[in-house]
């Protein structure tokens, strides 16, 4: 600044500096009256210079008291910095400002007034407001999300409580194991049935804590326990129909025995289901039930059948013998009509003898009183023998039957009589459940790549087939599918039950594939 300016020049110079500022500037007298303003102040208040000068400074703010206190503070302290006020335009617009102000004095040091410069911070304020709104919005969002989560947690814990209540109140014993077979959960029925409490078994291996025995009382090794196999990801079904549903529970069929804490044992039946995450087994659920009562009932039934069959056998045989004698003319020549009637009686009583025989076989098997006689057996020969026996029926129905035997089929050690019963049932069923001029194909193989170490044979027919809804019952006692009961009354529904029992007790497997009205194939494997 040029220090040589005249007083007048100096004031002009100051004036131009003041006017050059876009910020509103005021000078205020000790009484609070505005003594001078620049264009910035006129613009921000919307009031003409003549009107502003001489008016109260505090008139131009939304909060006059605060404005008043502001300039008073300047007089007291000499200055203020960043004093926040809001200027009100005559049209109602608001401008947020920060005031920097200081007193100015006469040459003699007398305080003349206050020089106040306002800095427009509206934009900053807006930004702050926006930020604040944004923060509020975020807060709101977080609060809402937290509430939602809390609701979810509540729902989940309610669902969990419900699940637990269901599991606890389930009548069947239930145990959940992790991927290594350690117990994670057992229900009340489990505790009651086995005598172990949840606390005692948690974290222990199921296969260790609950030993399993076979019918004869031999302990089943851990690795052979179905649970162990399920946990290593094997897909086993002990059911004899190939299941199309990959999530179908794995069925454990009796007889198997579990040992209680007090070392007593009970027969059980149940399910094991793998718990899958994607296709990885992360655990398993086993449910089972004590079937002592069912077994007792079953035994009583078998005992009764056995008794009845024994009692029936002798008189029935007598009927057959005497009819045979009559037919062979031992008691004199018969006329054609008599012969026809006696033939009916003969075939009827023979059928009854066969039926009584299978009743007896089943009951003997159920009671477990058959003695097993293992001998060297030639399966192809046994098939030939069975086919010969059925030749008359085959001829009558004009069936095209082929027996395909692979080379070098070894002899196997099995109970020949009982295995013969199986072949007989398979072949006679194929003949029975086929149309005239149907085709039956029997194959015998040994140790192919699919069944190493096994004898493998199949009986295929293009007959009636088995309806879908009957498939899982074919091997149950007395079961006969609707499509055959409609057609032929002959049959007991015991043959397949027997076959399965015999094959499984010979450590083999039996199963089938069938489509109604297309045909059936029964498969059997037996260890070599």
**Binding footprint of ligand ADP on the chain (CB under 6 A):** 425, 429-430, 433, 461, 463-466, 474, 479-481, 484, 491-497, 520
The SS3 of residue 489 is: coil
For ligand ADP, the closer CB: 359 or 456: 359
For ligand ADP, the closer CB: 164 or 242: 242
For ligand ADP, the closer CB: 309 or 474: 474
Give the nearest distance from C-beta 148 to ligand ADP in angstroms.
57
Q: Give the torsion sign (CA, 412, 413, 417, 421).
A: negative
Give the nearest distance from C-beta 228 to ligand ADP in angstroms.
33
Give the nearest distance from C-beta 477 to ligand ADP in angstroms.
8
| Beta pairing class for 212-213 and 454-461 | unpaired
Q: Across the strands, what pairs with 277?
A: 280
For ligand ADP, the closer CB: 98 or 426: 426
For ligand ADP, the closer CB: 125 or 473: 473
Determine contact, residues 215/254, Cβ cutoff 8 Å. no
16 contact partners, CB below 8 Å, separation of at least 6: none
Give the nearest distance from C-beta 379 to ligand ADP in angstroms.
19
According to DSSP, residue 57 is labeled G
For ligand ADP, the closer CB: 270 or 495: 495
Which own/partner contact pairs does 59-66 have at CB distance under 8 Å and 24+ positions apart? 60/87, 60/88, 61/85, 61/86, 61/87, 61/88, 62/86, 62/87, 62/88, 62/94
Give the nearest distance from C-beta 463 to ligand ADP in angstroms.
5
The count of C-alpha atoms lying within 13 angstroms of the C-alpha of 52, restricted to the half-sphere facing its C-beta, is 27
Q: Which of 245, 268, 273 is nearest to 257 (CA)?
A: 268
Burial class (CB in 10 A: 0-12, 13-18, 19+), 262: exposed
| Token pair 């001998």 in the structure block, residue | 375
For ligand ADP, the closer CB: 25 or 427: 427
Give the nearest distance from C-beta 303 to ligand ADP in angstroms.
21
**CB-based burial, 321-335: b 16+ in 10 Å, e otherwise:** ebbeebbeeeeeebe
Phi-psi region of 402 (alpha: psi -120 to 50; beta: other; left: phi over 0): beta
For ligand ADP, the closer CB: 184 or 354: 354
Give the nearest distance from C-beta 521 to ligand ADP in angstroms.
8
Rounded to the nearest 10°, the torsion over CA 103, 107, 109, 111 is -40
For ligand ADP, the closer CB: 286 or 461: 461
Determine contact, residues 236/226, Cβ cutoff 8 Å. yes
Give the nearest distance from C-beta 496 to ligand ADP in angstroms.
3
For ligand ADP, the closer CB: 167 or 362: 362
Give the nearest distance from C-beta 447 to ligand ADP in angstroms.
26
How long, in residues, is the chain?
Answer: 528
Give the nearest distance from C-beta 377 to ligand ADP in angstroms.
21
Structure tokens at 96: 């947020």
Give the nearest distance from C-beta 369 to ligand ADP in angstroms.
21
For ligand ADP, the closer CB: 198 or 521: 521
Determine contact, residues 253/237, Cβ cutoff 8 Å. no
């Amino acid at each position: 600044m040029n220090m040589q300016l005249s007083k007048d020049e100096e004031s002009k110079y100051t004036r131009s500096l003041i006017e050059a500022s876009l910020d509103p500037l005021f000078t205020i007298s000790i009484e609070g009256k505005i003594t001078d303003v620049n264009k910035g102040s006129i613009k921000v208040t919307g009031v003409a210079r003549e009107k502003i000068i001489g008016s109260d400074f505090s008139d131009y703010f939304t909060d006059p008291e605060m404005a008043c206190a502001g300039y008073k503070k300047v007089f007291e302290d000499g200055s203020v910095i960043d004093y926040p006020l809001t200027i009100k335009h005559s049209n109602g617009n608001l401008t947020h400002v920060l005031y920097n102000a200081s007193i100015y004095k006469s040459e003699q040091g007398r305080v003349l007034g206050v020089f106040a410069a306002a800095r427009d911070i509206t934009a900053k304020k807006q930004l702050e407001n926006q930020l604040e709104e944004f923060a509020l919005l975020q807060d709101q969002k977080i609060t809402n999300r937290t509430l939602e989560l809390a609701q979810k947690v509540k729902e989940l814990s309610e669902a969990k409580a419900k699940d637990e209540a269901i599991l606890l109140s389930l009548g069947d014993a239930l145990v959940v194991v992790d991927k290594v077979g350690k117990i994670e959960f057992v229900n009340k029925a489990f505790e009651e049935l086995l005598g172990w409490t949840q606390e005692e078994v948690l974290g222990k291996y199921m296969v260790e804590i609950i030993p399993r025995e076979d019918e004869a009382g031999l302990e089943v090794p851990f690795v052979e326990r179905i649970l162990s196999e399920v946990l290593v990801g094997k897909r086993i079904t002990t059911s004899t129909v190939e299941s199309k549903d990959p999530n179908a529970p794995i069925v454990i069929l009796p007889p198997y025995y579990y040992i209680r804490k007090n070392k007593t044992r009970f027969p059980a039946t149940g399910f094991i289901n793998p718990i899958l995450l994607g296709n990885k087994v992360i655990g398993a659920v086993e449910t089972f039930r004590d079937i002592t009562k069912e077994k007792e009932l079953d035994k009583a039934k078998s005992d009764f059948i056995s008794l009845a069959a024994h009692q029936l056998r002798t008189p029935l045989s007598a009927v057959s013998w005497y009819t045979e004698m009559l037919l062979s003319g031992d008691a004199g020549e018969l006329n054609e009509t008599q012969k026809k009637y006696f033939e009916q009686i003969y075939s009827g009583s023979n059928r009854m003898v066969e039926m009584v025989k299978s009743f007896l076989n089943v009951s003997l098997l159920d009671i477990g009183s058959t003695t097993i006689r293992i001998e060297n057996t030639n399966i192809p020969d046994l098939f030939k023998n069975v086919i010969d026996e059925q030749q008359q029926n085959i001829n009558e129905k004009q069936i095209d039957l082929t027996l395909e035997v692979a080379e070098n089929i070894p002899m196997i050690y099995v109970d020949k009589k009982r295995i013969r019963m199986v072949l007989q049932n398979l072949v006679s069923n194929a003949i029975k459940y086929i149309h005239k001029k149907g085709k039956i194909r029997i194959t015998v193989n040994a140790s192919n790549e699919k069944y190493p170490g096994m004898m493998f044979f199949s009986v295929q027919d293009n007959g009636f087939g088995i309806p879908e809804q009957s498939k899982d019952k074919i091997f149950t006692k007395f079961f006969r599918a609707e499509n055959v009961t409609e057609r032929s009354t002959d049959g007991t529904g015991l043959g397949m039950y027997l076959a399965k029992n015999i094959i499984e007790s010979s450590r083999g497997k039996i199963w089938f594939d069938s489509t109604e009205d297309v045909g059936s194939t029964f498969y059997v494997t037996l260890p070599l």
